[in-house]
Structure 1
Amino acid sequence: MRSSTLRHLIRLRLTLVGPLPEIWREVVVDRDLSLAHLRDVIQAVFEGQDCRHHLFTDDLDSPVWSRTRRRWGDRLTMIDLRDPTVIDEASARIGSVLRESRPLYYGHTCEDGWLVEVEAHEDILEAASTPPVRVTAGERRSPLPCCRGPFEHSVLVGVLEDPAHPEREALRAQVERTIGPWSHFDPEEFDIVEVQRRLDMLDPDAPRLGVGVQPIRTGPLEWLVARLPRPARAGLERQLATSGLDLPAVITNDEARAATREFGWVVSRAADGGIPLIDGIVDPEVVRIGSAALGCDEEQMLRLIALAKRGHLLYARGGRLRANKRSAAAVMQPSELWSLLARELGRTVAPGMSGDLFLLAIADGSLADPEIGIRRCAEAVALLRQGQRRESWGYHGSRSDDCEQTCDCPNDGAENWHDVIARVIRDAATDGAGEEAVPLAAQFAGHEARDLGFDPDWFERSAARPYALAIRSGGEPQVAESEMLAELDDLIRLLSMFGLERGDAGTWIVPPTLQEFARESLRRPGAHRVPAHIDF
Structure 2
Amino acid sequence: MAASGSRRHLSVVPDQPVIDRPSQRSGRLDVVSYQLRIELDDVSPTIWRQFVVPSNLRLNQLHPVLQTVMGWYDSHLHAWVGGEPPASERYEMQESIDEGFADDDDELCEDDIRLDQVLVQPGDQLSYTYDFGDGWNHTIVLEQIRAGDPEPKTQCLAGARACPPENSGGPGGYADLLGVLADPSHPEHNDASAWVGSGFSPESFDPAVVDASLGGHEAVRAHGPVPDSAFAELLRHMPPRAAPQVYSMLERAHLTQRSGDYLGAQEAVTLHLRWFLQRIGPDGITLTKAGHLPPAVVAETRELPGFDGWPSTNNRENDQRPVHLLHVYTKTLGLARKYKGKLVQTKLGAEFAGNARGMWSHLLTRLPLGADRVEREAGYLVLLALAAGASPKERQSVVAEGLAALGWRASDKTVVEGLEAYWIARPTIEFLMLTGAIGEGYGVHDTSDPEWGRLLARMVLSV
TM interval, short-chain normalised: 0.5 to 0.7
**1:293-312 correspondence to structure 2 within 5 Å:** 296=308, 298=315, 299=317, 300=320, 301-312=323-334
Query: Partner residue of 1:72?
Result: 88
d(CA) in 2 for partners of 1:287 and 1:304? 11
Q: In the TM superposition, what is the alpha-carbon distance from 1:268 to its structure 2 partner? A: 0.4
138-147 or 377-386, larger mean C-alpha shift: 138-147
How many pairs align?
355
Could you give the per-residue CA deviations for residues 426-455 of structure 1, whole angstroms, max 9, x where no partner exists?
Answer: xxxxxxxxxxxxxxxxxxxxxxxxxxxxxx
Distance of 2:83 and 2:90 partners within structure 1: 13
State the alpha-carbon separation in 2 of the partners of residues 252 and 502 from structure 1.
Answer: 22
- What does 1:19-168 correspond to in 2, within 5 Å? 23-25=50-52, 28=55, 43=63, 46=66, 52=78, 55=81, 72-74=88-90, 103-104=124-125, 106-108=127-129, 111-119=135-143, 135=152, 139-140=156-157
Instruction: Report the identity percentage.
Output: 18
Corresponding residue number in structure 2 for 1:356: 380
Match of 1:375 among 377, 397, 404: 397
Tell me the distance in 2 between the aligned counterparts of 1:331 and 1:113.
Answer: 58
CA distance in 2, matches of 1:253, 1:281: 33
Paired residue secondary structure (2:298): helix
* One-letter amino acid of the structure 1 residue matched with residue 66 of structure 2: F
Letter in 2 for 1:24: F
Stretches of structure 2 that go unaligned for 5 or more consecutive residues are: 1-19, 41-45, 93-104, 179-197, 201-206
Deviation at 1:361, TM superposition (A): 1.5
Does the C-alpha gap of structure 1 residues 72 and 11 become closer, same or farther in structure 2, counting only changes over 3 Å?
A: farther
- Among 280, 286, 289, which residue is 1:276 paired with? 286
Residues of 2 paired with 1:99 and 1:340: CA distance? Answer: 47
Check conservation: 2:83, 2:126, Cα contact below 8 A: yes
User: In structure 2, what is the Cα distance between the partners aligned to 1:145 and 1:96?
Assistant: 28
The one-letter code of the counterpart of 1:357 is L
Residue 454 (structure 2) aligns with: 515
Sort the Cα spacing of 1:293 and 1:374 in 2 relative to 1 into closer, same or farther, 3 A. closer
Matching residue's letter, 1:517:
L
- Residue 405 of structure 1 corresponds to none
C-alpha distance in 2 between matches for 1:25 and 1:200: 20
Q: CA deviation at 1:356?
A: 2.4
* 1:191-226 Cα shifts (integer Å, max 9, x gaps): 69956975999xxxxxxxxxxxxx9x462x235324
Instruction: Tell me the C-alpha RMSD between the 2 structures.
Output: 5.6
Distance 1:141 1:311, change over 3 A: farther
| Matching residue within 329, 332, 355 for 2:351 | 329
- Using a 3 Å threshold, how does the CA distance of structure 1 residues 199 and 314 change in structure 2: closer, same or farther? closer
Pair 1:356–1:39, CA change in 2 (3 A): closer
1:269 positional shift: 1.7
Q: Which residue of 2 aligns with 1:267?
A: 277
Equivalent position of 1:493 in the other structure: 430
Please name the residue that 1:482 is paired with.
419
Q: Deviations over 1:47-99 (max 9, x none)?
A: 566863655577xxxxxxxxxx87835399xxxxxxxxxx9797x99999989
How far apart, CA to CA, are the structure 2 residues paired with 1:227 and 1:192? Answer: 16
- Equivalent runs, 1:71-470 vs 2, <5 Å: 72-74=88-90, 103-104=124-125, 106-108=127-129, 111-119=135-143, 135=152, 139-140=156-157, 171=199, 186-187=209-210, 194=217, 217=228, 219=230, 221-228=231-238, 232=242, 239-240=249-250, 243-248=253-258, 250-251=260-261, 253=263, 256-279=266-289, 280-291=291-302, 296=308, 298=315, 299=317, 300=320, 301-341=323-363, 343-344=365-366, 346-348=368-370, 351-368=375-392, 370=393, 372-386=394-408
The CA deviation string for residues 353-374 of structure 1, in whole angstroms up to 9 with x for no partner, is 2222222221222245x5x231
Q: 8 Å contact 1:23–1:142 — kept in the other structure? A: yes
TM (normalized to structure 2)? 0.55
Amino acid at match of 2:232: E
> Is residue 264–residue 452 contact of structure 2 (8 Å, CA) maintained in 1?
no
Q: 1:314 to 1:74 in 2, by over 3 A?
A: same
Aligned equivalents of 1:240 and 1:44: distance in 2?
Answer: 17
Compute the displacement of 1:314 (Å): 0.7
> Secondary structure, in 3 states, of the residue corresponding to 2:407?
helix
Distance 1:251 1:229, change over 3 A: same
CA-CA distance at 1:111 after TM superposition = 4.1
Which piece of structure 1 moves more, 293-302 or 6-15?
6-15
Alpha carbons 1:145, 1:231 under 8 Å: kept: no
Aligned counterparts of 1:360 and 1:16: Cα–Cα separation in 2: 33
Aligned to 2:6: none
Work out whether residues 252 and 389 of structure 2, in 8 Å CA contact, stay in contact via their aligned partners in 1.
no
In structure 1, stretches of 5+ residues that fail to align are 30-36, 59-68, 77-86, 125-133, 156-169, 173-183, 202-214, 389-473, 525-536
Letter matched to residue 127 of structure 2: Y
**Deviation of 1:116 (Å):** 1.9
SS of 2:88's equivalent?
A: strand
Letter in 1 for 2:294: D
**Distance across 2 between alignment mates of 1:263 and 1:196:** 36
Structure with more contact order per residue of length (Cα contacts < 8 Å, sep ≥ 6): 1
The CA deviation at 1:308 is 1.6
